Amino acid sequence: MYNGFMACKRKISIIGSTGSIGTQALEVLEKLQDKFEIIALAGGDNIVLLKQQAQKFKPRYVVSRADNNGLERICSDKENDIILMAVSGKVGLKPTLTAIENGIDIALANKETLVMAGEIVMQRARENNVNIIPVDSEHSAIHQCVKDISQVDKLIITASGGPFLHKSTENVTVEQTLLHPRWKMGKKITVDSATLMNKGLEIIEAHHLFGFDYDKIEVVIHPQSIVHSAIEYKDGSVIAQLGLPSMHIPIQYALSYPERFEGIKSKSFSFTEAARLDFEKPDLAKFPALALAYEAGKTGGTAPAVLNAANEEAVYAFLEGKIKLNDIYKITEMALSSHNVIQNPTLDEILAIDAEVRIKIFS
Ligand SMILES: NC(=O)c1ccc[n+]([C@@H]2O[C@H](COP(=O)([O-])OP(=O)(O)OC[C@H]3O[C@@H](n4cnc5c(N)ncnc54)[C@H](OP(=O)(O)O)[C@@H]3O)[C@@H](O)[C@H]2O)c1
């Protein structure tokens, strides 16, 4: 049982330390060396960077994709007080569940885990008394705004709109798609941001994290990415969380929750520099992925897992130049319409359907 930063350092491992979230988390931890001890780092294929990180941060051990059961080893290591789950895609699900079963708190960046199996993950977290603290800036914003969730009527999730907000999405290149106007992120989430599927995955994530019906989760386009999300209380009062578009803050918040440290803060937010904040409704005709995600979320059962698997495979196909950006939606929509939804699926059923969708999708 962790007794707080005053008593001892918080012991942490990072799954996905070589990625966008992982490297930013290490920048945070570099500033908070007196508060944290790193138990393990896990990366995928970037062995050079993983080695450099190991030399610099001196974790007790590292694992890479090549290590069989490496992620399971870290997530069942009860030395950890908290694990940052910063892999992209379905890889995050099993290790997250292992950590939960071992009573280890999770700082969750990997939204796909909750999209695939949100009910099971949240249920097991409750049973094991495990905190799941969101890293996604929108969910972190909501987490920071909420005092008493039972008094909240609506969640308002903001979206930058991605690189094609006011441009055509026809025949765009991979390079154009990866040029996100506000955030520098891994490739998968950057493509998802361009199609607004990222926001679709986020509403499903929010549904599970905060227990809200989908008609109480609103998406608003906010190109400046200053308001990271908001909540509306029953009496109409709206509380928003603001800040510069940097993942350092939500990462640090999740790792140090419920305490706050100066840590990575470099400058104060200036309202006058931010100057103007624009908001608009999302164009669901141009970005149908968002409507598809709402539909999959409302359908529930295995539908979100199918949405996630089909989208993930289609995104990788797009990145490899095999399909166009707008085909991602078409492929995902087809996978969902040909799927017979199972309600209240077991974990095995979810994993089987996930595998089946990925095999069938381009066959
Ligand atoms: N980036 C952001 O700003 C941001 C914001 C909000 C939420 N998120 C979410 O956070 C998650 C991570 O996003 P990201 O942008 O950081 O992705 P990323 O840059 O692609 O990083 C993914 C990380 O996972 C590692 N990895 C992949 N497969 C692995 C495996 N089998 N075993 C161990 N490590 C493996 C990669 O290792 P190698 O690189 O060494 O192969 C890399 O360290 C996603 O779910 C995303 O939606 C990201």
The reply to whether 258 falls in a domain is no
d(CA 275, ligand 1 centre) in Å: 33
Same-domain check for residues 239 and 330: no
Same-domain status, 280 and 353:
no
In a shared domain, residues 64 and 127: yes
- pLDDT at res. 1: 60
Domain boundaries, position 358: 300-363
Residue 118, domain CATH: 3.40.50.720
Which residues of the chain are modeled with pLDDT < 70?
1, 3
15 within domain boundaries: yes
**Assigned domain for 4 exists:** no
Shared domain for 66 and 196, answered yes or no, is no
Query: Of 98, 115, 134, which one is at a domain's C-terminal end?
Result: 134
- 118 and 147 share one domain: no
Instruction: At 159, list the tokens.
Output: 């979206």
- Between strands 10-15 and 82-85, the pairing is parallel
For ligand 1, atom 47, name the residue with the nearest CA. 189
Give the closest residue to 228 by CA, choosing from 207, 208, 206.
206
**Predicted pLDDT at 267:** 84
Last residue of a domain, one of 107, 134, 161: 134
- Report which ligand 1 atom has the smallest distance to the Cα of 192: 47
Pocket test for ligand 1, best of 106, 189, 204, 316 (most atoms within 8 A of CB): 189
Q: What's the gap in Å between 183 CA and the centre of ligand 1? A: 14
Q: Quick one: three-class SS letters along the chain?
A: CCCCCCCCCEEEEEECCCCHHHHHHHHHHHHCCCCEEEEEEECCCCHHHHHHHHHHHCCCEEECCCCCCHHHHHHCCCCCCEEEECCCHHHHHHHHHHHHHCCCEEEECCHHHHHHHHHHHHHHHHHCCCCEEECCHHHHHHHHHCCCHHHEEEEEEEECCCCCCCCCCCCCCHHHHCCCCCCCCCHHHHHHHHHCHHHHHHHHHHHHHHCCCHHHEEEEECCCCCEEEEEEECCCCEEEEECCCCCHHHHHHHHHCCCCCCCCCCCCCCHHHHCCCCCECCCCCCCHHHHHHHHHHHHCCCHHHHHHHHHHHHHHHHHCCCCCHHHHHHHHHHHHHCCCCCCCCCHHHHHHHHHHHHHHCCC
Same domain, 286 and 326: no
Contact 104, 80 (CB under 8 A): yes
The count of structural domains within the chain is: 3
pLDDT score of 176: 96
> What's the pLDDT at 114?
98
Tell whether 263 is covered by a domain: no
**CA 20 to centroid of ligand 1, rounded, Å:** 6
CATH of the domain at 348: 1.10.1740.10
**CA gap 214, 60 in Å, rounded:** 43
- Same domain for 292 and 157? yes
